[in-house]
Amino acid sequence: MKKIIYIRQSPKGGCDGTVTYCQSLFDFFYNDKDCTAGVIENYPEIKSRLFHYYYKQKTLTAAIKKADIVHINGYTAMGTVQALVTAKILHKSIVYTAHWHPFDRLSHPLLGKMFFNIFLKNTIKYCATAITTINKEDYAFFNSFHKNVVMIPHWFKPQNIGIDVEKKKNMILFVGRVDDPVKGFQHLYFLPEGKYDIHCVGKGNIKQRSDITQHINISNEELALLYLQASLVVVPSKYEAFSYVTLESLCYGTPVVMSENVRILDHLDDIKGYSIFKYGDKKDFINKINETIGINVEVTKIESIFNPEKIRLLYKNLYLSI
C-alpha cells in the first residue's frame, strides 16, 4: 500500500480552489486499500515579500519522510520549489499540480514569469515524476518541457438537500470574492437596477443597490439551495483555470454565462446549458444573460464528463503507475 500526502498553502479563507481540490482528493483516497491519503496538514509557513512563502524545513521534511507519494500543489511561491526539492532528495514519487494561470493573468505578470523561469521550471522538470493539468492550455504549457503530463478535470457530486426547489424566474447568482477584480463582479453593475434578483455569495464591499443580496459564510446546504433557486449563474472572470462554480451550477441544472477566459470550456464541447461573452464587453454580457437565463442544461452529459468515480480511477491509476 502506498501512502500519499498533499502539500499546499494553508487556506486563505473564502473560495479557495486549491484547498477544495486537495480535500476532494483526500476524500477519494483516505480509505483506499492500495493508495491511502494522509490527513491534510497546514504546514507552518514563513511569509516572504519576495518569495510569497516557504515552509519550515524541519516540519516539511518530517512529513515527506513518512510518504511514498508526495502530491505538491503551488505555483509562484518558494514553498513549492522547496517541497519539490525536498521530496526529490528523499527519493519520493512526486505528483505536481500547479493550479496554473498564464503569466499575463497574474497580479504581477513580469515577476511571476521571472520567478517561474528562474526557480520553478527546471525544478519541476527534474523533480516531478508526473504533472496533472486541468485544461488544454496548461497541458500544452507543461508538456513543452516535461514528458509525463496528464489532463484530468475536476469533479463534483451535487448535494441532495431533500426538498423540491422551484426556480426563481429572474434570479441571478454570483459565487466568488466580490473585491477581487479578477472575478469580474463589476460586470453585474452593467445590469439595469431592478430587472433581476441578484444574489452574491462572497465577502467584499458591494455598491448599494436594491436588487443585490449578499450572502456571507453560508453553509453548503444554503449554497446548494441558491444554485437550485437561481435561473442563471454568472462567472465573468478575467481568467479561471477551471471554475468549480460553473461545474457546480451545471450539475444543479442551472445555466451559466461565463467569459471566454473560463477554461472549463475545454471540457464542454457540444454541451447545452451555457453561453460565452467577451470579457469586459457590456453589450455582449447583457445580451448573453437575456439569451441564457432559464434555458435547459444537459445535466446527464455533464455528470458523465465530470463523474467522480471515473476521475478517481484516473488519479488512482496515476498514483499506482509511479
Instruction: Examine the pLDDT at 198 and tell me if it is beyond 70.
Output: yes
Distant-in-sequence, close-in-space partners of 220: CB < 8 Å, separation ≥ 6: 159
Contact 239, 101 (CB under 8 A): yes
pLDDT digits (tens, 9 = 90+) for 79-104: 999 999 999 999 999 999 998 889 98
Contact 232, 197 (CB under 8 A): no
210 grid coordinates: 436594491
What average pLDDT score do residues 139-152 get? 97
Q: What confidence score (pLDDT) does residue 262 get? A: 96
Distant-in-sequence, close-in-space partners of 56: CB < 8 Å, separation ≥ 6: 43, 44, 45, 46
pLDDT digits (tens, 9 = 90+) for 203-257: 899 988 999 999 999 999 999 999 999 999 999 999 999 999 999 999 999 999 9
pLDDT digits (tens, 9 = 90+) for 122-133: 999 999 999 999
CATH fold match for the domains 2-155+307-321 and 171-305: yes
Write the single-letter amino acid at 244.
Y
For residue 131, which of 152, 156, 154, 103 has the smallest C-alpha distance? Answer: 152
Count, residues in the chain: 322
Q: Strand 232-235 and strand 45-48: pairing?
A: unpaired
Residue 131, CA distances (Å) to 29, 38, 81, 118, 285 in order = 18, 20, 14, 19, 35
CATH of 171-305 given 3.40.50.2000, 3.40.50.10140, 3.90.245.10, 3.30.450.20: 3.40.50.2000
Instruction: Examine the pLDDT at 175 and tell me if it is beyond 60.
Output: yes
d(CA 299, CA 273): 8
Backbone angles phi, psi at 81, to 5 degrees: -60, -45
Burial 16-52 (b: 16+ CB within 10 A, else e): bbbbebbebbbebbeeeeebebeebeebebeeeeebb
Q: What confidence score (pLDDT) does residue 108 get? A: 86
Tell how far CA 293 is from the center of its chain: 24
Q: Please state the pTM of the whole predicted model.
A: 0.88
pLDDT digits (tens, 9 = 90+) for 10-23: 876 555 778 889 99
**What are the domain boundaries of the chain?**
2-155+307-321, 171-305
| Summary mean pLDDT of the chain | 94
Superfamily (CATH) of domain 2-155+307-321: Glycogen Phosphorylase B; (3.40.50.2000)
List, as one string, the DSSP characters of 56-77.
-HHHHHHHHHT-SEEEEE-SSS
Distant-in-sequence, close-in-space partners of 244: CB < 8 Å, separation ≥ 6: 15, 17, 20, 154, 156
